[in-house]
């Protein structure tokens, strides 16, 4: 059941009472456990009455359960929803007036989780869309109080969080909200672990399970595929997996996820968003993860696709791939902090690879359920940090391993702004173990990419004796001759011109790029758009008006209230 407060009644906040039928507006009194009876009340004058706009639902006992409205915010006690008190009916979270925030004092788990096929069948959960739906309206902000709390969308359930470029949806911490309301910032711009993060689980394919048949034959099948998701322990438990890569976990558009990565029950340090076997009918467009302790997004199998993705100040990997993910990312901007961040892409083909025999690895690949992603138009600006300053490992570019068959097109990998001595640490490209054979066979494909790092590559040569650098150059890519502190922008180093604009995140048109004081030798863009990388000044700026931390007036501020620019500006 969906309960939505309509705007026609919210205008009573401004005293326009006739729109709600005239006279006093009577408010259902709220008890401490967030339950609401059907009686009504009002203030004595009848001129300042406010309808409670907080989210609500009717429980199995027929009781209306609603958040507590105070000043501009809605607060939800653990008795409203929490780990072990999952949301099991449809519900809508509205946008609030005057910068109001929905504050959760517990976790927000949508739908129940089941770890056997029998339990799923008994619950009426089959292959997606069978469970409860949480709808979040454009402009809403959800904030979590504790760094033990996080959000799960369980298999069968769906999240519809559809914002707009003008009214994005934000998932963050109460500490972030408090800081933004303070006269001076109380939370560092790159603070992490302020709350857990998001976990979305689906019925897609994960090679952590055993399958019969193959993708090519169209007869891939599994049973009792229930892989524990991150955070799975006790009341925080959830599972993912199945054989339906067309599953839908809902829709997310113009969504920002900020300050995540807290350690939850089983010791996991959660990502911005973990996608556990999420299917291709899930729509993800215009998504930003900002200041996360672990990865920005991590895909554990499945086939979910992304359009317009930003990862800013991620301390581990901006894009992490594992367990057979076969989706596509179109347009992605990954910017690490100056002193922290690990890989732009860390990409694994097969879960638990090190425990498998060579024969078992080839069976998985033969079934077509190793990771086979495609990434188009990616710009990475990685940190020049070393191990001394990194939360996890030194800043680096792209690492492909463990049998991944990846295709990367029309992209820029840059680690050229900072002080980086040649030592192979902050490399642009690395290919390991079974993925080296994939590279030789053409199953790992990199096309129309310019790399600009002091450390070009890391790792061993391919089995046929070809170096990783030569492999990349032979397939239409180019490595710039980059020195420490090279600035690849149009206003600085005339021998290396890759980026322009303010901030300098936009790709120079390919025809006018300069690499080693010459026109690029990389292959022309595959996309026909005349540029490589995530953004071009000649195209619509899909990051404008809604992302946080990139553009002036949409950034954190210092103690004097001045915008904090990107570190390389």
Res. 9: pLDDT tops 50 = no
Listed in order, strand segments (DSSP E) in 28-182 are 35-36, 56-58, 64-66, 68-70, 73-76, 91-93, 102-104, 108-110, 133-136, 141-144, 151-153, 158-162, 169-173
Report yes or no on 560 lying in a domain.
no
- Predicted local distance difference test score (pLDDT) of residue 146: 92
Q: Which of 515, 534, 555 is the last residue of a domain?
A: 515
- Per cent of the chain over pLDDT 70 is 91
Residue 424 has what pLDDT?
85
Please name the residue that has the structure tokens 């008190």: 85
Question: Which residues, at least 6 apart from 7, have a Cβ–Cβ distance to it below 8 Å?
Answer: none
Rounded Cα distance, 171 and 500, in Å: 31
The pairing of strands 64-66 and 56-58 is: antiparallel
pLDDT at 1 over 80: no
Q: How far is CA 455 from CA 380, 390, 394, 425, in A?
A: 15, 17, 12, 7
17 and 90 both lie in a single domain: no
- Binning pLDDT at 50, 70 and 90, where does residue 265 land? low
For residue 24, tell me if it sits in a domain: yes
pLDDT in tens, 505-555: 999 999 999 999 999 999 999 888 899 999 999 889 999 999 999 999 899
Q: How many domains does the chain have?
A: 2
At 37, is the pLDDT very low, low, confident or very high (cuts 50, 70, 90)? very low
* Residue 310 maps to a domain: yes
Same domain membership, residue 214 and residue 142: yes
Strands 68-70 and 73-76: antiparallel
Asked if pLDDT for residue 160 goes beyond 50, the answer is yes
Distance, in Å, from the CA atom of 531 to the CA atom of 234, rounded to the nearest integer, reads: 49
Omega prior to 128 cis, within 30 of 0: no
Whether residue 305 is found in the same domain as residue 342: yes
Residue 4 has pLDDT above 60, yes or no: no
Give CA–CA dist 303/290, Å, rounded: 23
Kindly state whether residues 53 and 98 are assigned to the same domain: no
Same domain, yes or no: 327 and 389:
yes
- 15 and 93 assigned to the same domain: no
Asked whether residue 554 is assigned to any structural domain, the reply reads no
**284-304 pLDDT tens trace:** 999 999 999 999 999 999 999
Residue 551 lies inside a defined structural domain of this protein: no
Same domain for 250 and 359:
yes
16 token code pair: 């326009």
Q: Is the pLDDT of residue 406 over 60?
A: yes
Identify the weakest region by mean pLDDT among 73-82, 439-448, 480-489. 480-489
Asked if residue 345 and residue 294 are part of one domain, the reply reads yes
**Structural domain includes residue 122:** no
Task: Give CA separation, 421 vs 37, 138, 415, 468, 469, in Å.
Answer: 67, 46, 12, 20, 19
Tell me if 541 is assigned to some domain. Answer: no
Q: Identify whether the C-beta of residue 262 lies closer than 8 Å to the C-beta of residue 269.
A: yes
pLDDT at 61 over 50: yes
Q: How far apart are CA 289 and CA 324, in angstroms?
A: 22
pLDDT, average across residues 325-343: 96
Residue 104 within any structural domain of the chain? yes
Residue ranges making up the domain that contains 392: 86-111+137-515
Which pLDDT does position 5 carry in this prediction?
37
Query: Between 82 and 529, where is the model more confident?
Result: 82
pTM: 0.91
Which of 497, 515, 533 is where one domain is finished? 515
74 and 156 assigned to the same domain? no
Q: What is the per-residue pLDDT for 154?
A: 98
Q: Is the pLDDT of residue 23 over 50?
A: no
Shared-domain flag, residues 73 and 144: no
Phi and psi at residue 484, in whole multiples of 5°? -55, 135
Q: Are residues 314 and 396 in the same domain?
A: yes
Q: Is the pLDDT of residue 421 over 60?
A: yes
Mean per-residue pLDDT, 341-366:
97
Q: d(Cα 113, Cα 116) in Å, to the nearest integer?
A: 10
Q: How far apart are CA 295 and CA 312, in angstroms?
A: 11
Of the candidates 179, 190, 108, 174, the residue with the CA atom closest to the CA atom of residue 141:
174
The predicted model gives 197-212 an average pLDDT of 98
Higher confidence at residue 328 or residue 421? 328
Give yes or no: residues 106 and 78 share one domain. Answer: no
pLDDT at residue 166 greater than cutoff 70: yes
Per-residue pLDDT at 34: 56
């Amino acid at each position: 059941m969906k309960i939505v407060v309509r705007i026609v009644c919210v205008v009573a906040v401004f005293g326009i009472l006739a729109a709600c039928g005239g006279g006093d507006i009577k408010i259902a009194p709220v008890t401490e456990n967030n339950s609401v009876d059907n009686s009504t009340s009002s203030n004595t004058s009848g001129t300042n009455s406010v309808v409670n706009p907080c989210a609500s639902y009717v429980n199995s006992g027929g009781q209306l359960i609603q958040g507590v409205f105070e000043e501009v915010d809605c607060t939800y006690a653990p008795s409203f929803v929490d780990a072990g008190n999952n949301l099991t009916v449809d519900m809508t979270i509205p946008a609030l007036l005057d910068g109001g925030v929905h504050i959760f004092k517990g976790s927000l788990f949508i739908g129940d989780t089941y770890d056997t096929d029998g339990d799923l069948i008994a619950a009426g959960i089959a292959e997606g869309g069978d469970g409860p739906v949480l709808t979040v309206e454009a402009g809403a902000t959800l904030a979590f109080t504790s760094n033990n709390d996080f959000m799960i969308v369980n298999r069968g359930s769906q999240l519809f969080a559809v914002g707009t470029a003008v009214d994005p949806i934000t998932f963050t911490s109460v500490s972030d909200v408090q800081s933004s309301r303070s006269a001076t910032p109380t939370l560092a711009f790159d603070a992490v672990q302020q709350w857990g993060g998001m976990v979305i689980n689906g019925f897609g394919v994960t090679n952590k399970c055993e399958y019969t048949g193959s993708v090519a034959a169209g007869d891939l099948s599994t049973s009792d595929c229930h892989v524990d998701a991150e955070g799975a322990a006790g009341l925080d438990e959830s599972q993912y997996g199945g054989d339906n890569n067309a599953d839908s976990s809902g829709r997310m558009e113009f969504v920002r996820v900020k300050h995540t990565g807290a350690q939850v029950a089983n010791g996991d340090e959660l990502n911005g968003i973990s996608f556990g076997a999420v299917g291709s009918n899930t729509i993800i467009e215009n998504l930003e993860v900002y200041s996360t302790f672990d990865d920005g997004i991590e895909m554990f199998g499945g086939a979910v696709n992304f359009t317009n993705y930003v990862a800013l100040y991620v301390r581990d990997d901006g894009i992490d791939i594992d367990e057979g993910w076969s989706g596509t990312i179109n347009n992605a901007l990954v910017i690490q902090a100056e002193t922290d961040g690990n890989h732009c892409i860390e990409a694994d083909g097969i879960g638990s690879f090190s425990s498998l025999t060579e024969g078992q690895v080839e069976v998985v690949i033969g079934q077509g359920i190793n990771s086979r992603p495609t990434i188009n138009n990616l710009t990475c600006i990685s940190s020049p940090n070393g191990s001394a300053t990194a939360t996890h490992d030194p800043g680096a570019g792209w690492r492909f391993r463990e049998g991944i068959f990846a295709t990367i097109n029309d992209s820029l990998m840059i680690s050229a702004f900072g002080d980086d001595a040649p030592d192979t640490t902050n490399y642009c490209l690395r290919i390991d173990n079974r993925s080296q054979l994939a590279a030789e066979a053409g199953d790992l494909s990199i096309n129309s990419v310019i790399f600009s790092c002091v450390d070009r590559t890391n790792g061993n040569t391919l089995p046929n004796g070809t170096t990783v650098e030569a492999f990349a150059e032979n397939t239409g890519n180019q490595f710039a001759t980059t020195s420490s502190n090279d600035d690849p922008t149009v206003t600085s180093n005339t021998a290396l011109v890759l980026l322009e604009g303010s901030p300098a995140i936009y790709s120079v048109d390919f025809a006018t790029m300069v690499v080693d004081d010459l026109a690029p030798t990389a292959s022309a863009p595959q996309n026909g758009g005349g540029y490589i990388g995530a953004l071009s000044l000649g195209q619509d700026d899909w990051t404008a008006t809604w992302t946080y931390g990139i553009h002036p007036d949409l950034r954190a501020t210092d103690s004097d209230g001045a915008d904090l620019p990107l570190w390389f500006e």
